[in-house]
Amino acid sequence: MFHDLTLRDGSHAISHQLTREMIEDYCIFAEDAGIEVIEVGHGNGLGASSTLIGESLLSDLEMIQIAKTHLKRTKLSVHIIPGFATIKKNIDPAITLGVDIFRIASHCTEASLTKTHIEYLSSLNKTVYGVLMMTAMCSVETLFEEAFKMKSYGANAIIIMDSTGSYLPSDVRERVSKLVELKIPIGFHAHNNLQLAVANSIAAIEAGASIIDVTIRGFGAGAGNTPLEIMAHLYECPLLNKTKILEQCDRFKVPIPICKPINILTSKYKIMSGFEKHIINAAEQYKISYIELTNNLGTQKLVAGQEDFIYITAKQIANNI
């Protein structure tokens, strides 16, 4: 039920500077704790490391190799956004290294961009999920239509991401209840901008979701994700060693996300949680208020990969353009 994205979404929280030691330690823990799936990589997935978005300390293939060395029972997944990642350069090497689950993601209204990648992996009998990001930006009907496309391409499951941390539990119930009509596993990925990640994940389960994304101590972009340790406490999972999970919480020495004013603003305007650091950096660089910058960005409906617009907008505000 719980897919642990600590080593992928958590990468955002430390500017994609996952070290070999962090990956090794966490994979050893995941095996010992009985975690079924973990995900590793740059916060924006395979092929996303760049000067604009943020450069990873380690390459995609290094991170996968390190993880696979320490994983036997626990499955390894990767996040892929077409446009960042290509089949030949990124997916084929990941297949060779033994990645178990491929999560192919697009903006919530652009599922057609995943067609080639999902069909390719499906043709090889690989486990492939369709992932719809920024899902608070579209209607339930549109979300269902886009998810249906991913299913038709061969996706084995559909994950919806509240990338902006904007949902209330009622929103989650409405969407998941509709998506379960697809008759394939449905998953939910929460962000904690409004301190509702746990409540929203519970609502998803009650509405029929069978995959819930979690990270230890909520370690993730912006205000963070649904904490693994809380969900493990709330639900009986025979495979999970809850004592080891709590012990790992105490050992996990990284900045733990908290809900800050900027997270409330990005939730309000449905701005991707991963943009937080760029907004703060741009505001400091151009000596303007991050509140003014975020309010301005709220009208632009940015999607992943448009980080440069944050700096362009900040410069325009500074120059009174």
What local confidence, expressed as pLDDT, does residue 226 receive? Answer: 98
What local confidence, expressed as pLDDT, does residue 264 receive? Answer: 94
> By residue range, what is the domain housing residue 277?
261-318
What local confidence, expressed as pLDDT, does residue 280 receive? Answer: 93
Q: Which residue stretches of the chain have pLDDT < 50?
A: none
Q: What is the DSSP letter of 196?
A: -
Cβ neighbors of 204 (< 8 A, separation 6 or more) are 172, 173, 176, 186, 187, 188, 190, 212
C-alpha span between 145 and 143 (Å, rounded): 5
- DSSP notation for 47-89: T--BTTTB--SS-HHHHHHHHHHH-SSSEEEEEE-BTTB-III
256 part of a folded domain: no
What local confidence, expressed as pLDDT, does residue 168 receive? Answer: 98
What local confidence, expressed as pLDDT, does residue 274 receive? Answer: 81
Q: Are residues 118 and 212 in the same domain?
A: yes
- The Cα-based distances of 37 to 53, 152, 240, 271, 312 in angstroms read 26, 24, 12, 28, 39
> Domain boundary at 251, 286, 305, which?
251
Q: Are residues 243 and 281 in the same domain?
A: no
24 part of a folded domain: yes
Burial of residue 243 (number of CB atoms within 10 Å: 0-12, 13-18, 19+): exposed
Encoding tokens for residue 52?
A: 């604009």
Domain holding 178: CATH number?
3.20.20.70
| The Cα angle at residue 252 between residues 249 and 254, in degrees rounded to 5 | 125
- The catalytic residue positions are 12
> Domain boundary at 251, 275, 304, which?
251
pLDDT, tens digit, for every residue of 87-133?
A: 999 999 999 999 999 999 999 999 999 999 999 999 999 999 999 99
What local confidence, expressed as pLDDT, does residue 288 receive? Answer: 94
Q: Are residues 58 and 199 in the same domain?
A: yes
Q: Are residues 124 and 272 in the same domain?
A: no
Q: Are residues 304 and 159 in the same domain?
A: no
What local confidence, expressed as pLDDT, does residue 321 receive? Answer: 66
Q: Are residues 241 and 270 in the same domain?
A: no
pLDDT, tens digit, for every residue of 207-222?
A: 999 999 999 999 999 9
Q: What are phi and psi of 271, to 5 degrees?
A: -100, 135
Alpha carbons within 13 angstroms on the beta-carbon side of residue 77 total 26
Q: Are residues 230 and 148 in the same domain?
A: yes
Cβ neighbors of 80 (< 8 A, separation 6 or more) are 45, 46, 47, 90, 91, 102, 103, 104, 105, 117
Q: Are residues 221 and 296 in the same domain?
A: no
Entry pTM: 0.93
What local confidence, expressed as pLDDT, does residue 9 receive? Answer: 96
Q: Are residues 266 and 229 in the same domain?
A: no
